[in-house]
Amino acid sequence: MGFSYREGRLFAEELDCETLAEEYGTPCYLYSRAAMEAALAEYHDALSGCEHLVCYAVKANSNLAVLDTLARQGAGFDIVSVGELERVLAAGGDPGKVVFSGVVKRREEMHRALELGIRCFNVESEAELEVLQEVAAALGKRAPVSVRVNPDVDAGTHPYISTGLRENKFGVATDVAMKLLRHGKTLPNIDVIGLDCHIGSQLTDMAPLLESLRQLLVMVDTLEAEGIRIHHLDLGGGIGVRYKDEEPPAIADYIAAVRKALGDRKLCLVFEPGRSIVANAGVLLTRVHYTKETDAHSFALVDAAMNDFIRPALYQAWVDIQTTAPSEEPIRTWNIVGPVCETGDFLGKDRDLALAPGTLLAIHGAGAYGFVMSSNYNTRPRAAEVMIDGSSSQLVRERESIGDLLRGEHRLRQ
């Protein structure tokens, strides 16, 4: 399923990647519909028999075809902007299955989300709760609310993607959350329905996730005793994937542990996975244009750059880079670098590969936080995105043109 090598040639489901690169050009993202469906099914299967909602984190890969794929399989969505909400609608998703996270929700964003009747606002501060009350009152609606708890646990991941420590901007401490929930209960246009938590991304150990859950359950029980009934627990996303040799928990094992901790409490379980659904369902294809030897390194100069895929430059993330067909070239050690004018513009360093100008390379694990984090730096048009479904392929985002990049800009009037 997804991407596999057959006699040294890379296949995207049933299609040869060399042929796809010729058809769609490079750089180009390929996604496997079957791989995404299978990853979502792992969550759904592990949750069967328990009230639940899997809200795919749109930020991980927001292409309409990706959202469409997941919506058709019953997914809900975790959004962080009204833009993501409009994407969910455009892709045929159900706003009634949307949870809205993020520390800055603007009034107009709240307004639109209330109008559409989203499932829940994951409130991250006292001030936000007050504004939400006002916006809901003006609309004559009640806003369903969960409070995001910052449990002050170390997720053990890269500091830029750790979110559950006291010093982070996300959520509120447990005591503040209790205050907010009690206060929310007294507000006329607020419906307190849940508690949520998201402590970070690319987690390879489930212990911090279970520690956060333990804290949430203490809160649920205390509130219950006060007559405040919590309907759902949203445990966020964060389950890591294997890029190299990481050993993230299996989704089934993680969910089994969550269900065990829940005991016989009647709570709906909500999850917001992003990476674990799409990362390994995507590759980025890029072609080697030149090679260059220096005293220090052998460089393979490719047509994808940090503007197309920023994870190596931004987080020093290691991603697997492979050729897509057998080659007669000798294996040598390469730094794989792009055309952008920065030394930080690299995709991989010290990779043993048999390549030459013209060789097509695949960057694996590029389905999550890939295209969505791309930019037009150096006036580089953004890559094409292609969805693979068995032996058919569909262009689901056209490659940008230079015209697209200049649209909306103006020379001086005089």
Using CB under 6 A as the criterion, which residues of the chain lie in contact with ligand LLP when the complex forms?
A: 57, 60, 78, 101, 161, 198, 201-202, 236-238, 272-276, 311, 315, 369
Q: Determine if residue 311 is labeled as part of a ligand binding site.
A: yes
167 or 409: CB nearest ligand LLP: 167
Q: What is the C-alpha separation between 361 and 289, in angstroms, rounded?
A: 11
Q: Is 130 annotated as a binding residue?
A: no
> Would you say 137 or 165 has its CB closer to ligand LLP?
165
Using a 10 angstrom Cβ sphere, with 0-12 exposed, 13-18 middle and 19 or more buried, the burial of residue 141 is middle
Closest separation in Å from C-beta 292 to ligand LLP: 29
Does residue 315 have a known ligand-binding role? yes
Peptide bond into 27 cis (omega under 30): yes
Q: Does 274 appear as a known binding residue?
A: yes
**Cβ–Cβ contacts within 10 Å for residue 354, how many?**
16
Least gap, CB of 101 to ligand LLP (angstroms):
4
> Closer to ligand LLP at the Cβ: 101 or 280?
101
Least gap, CB of 341 to ligand LLP (angstroms): 23
Q: Is 50 a catalytic residue?
A: no
Q: Is 8 annotated as a binding residue?
A: no
- Beta pairing class for 332-337 and 346-353: antiparallel
Q: Cis before residue 95, ω within 30 degrees of 0?
A: no
Query: From its phi and psi, is residue 394 left (phi > 0), alpha (psi between -120 and 50) or beta?
Result: beta
Q: How far apart (Å, rounded) are the C-alpha atoms in residues 51 and 93?
A: 20
- For ligand LLP, the closer of residues 101 and 393 by Cβ is 101
Q: What DSSP state is assigned to residue 8?
A: T
Distances (CA, A) of 126 to 177, 190, 369: 9, 13, 30
Shortest Å, Cβ 394 to ligand LLP:
25
Question: Which residues form the catalytic set?
Answer: 341
Q: Known binding site for pyridoxal 5'-phosphate: residues?
A: 238, 272-275, 369
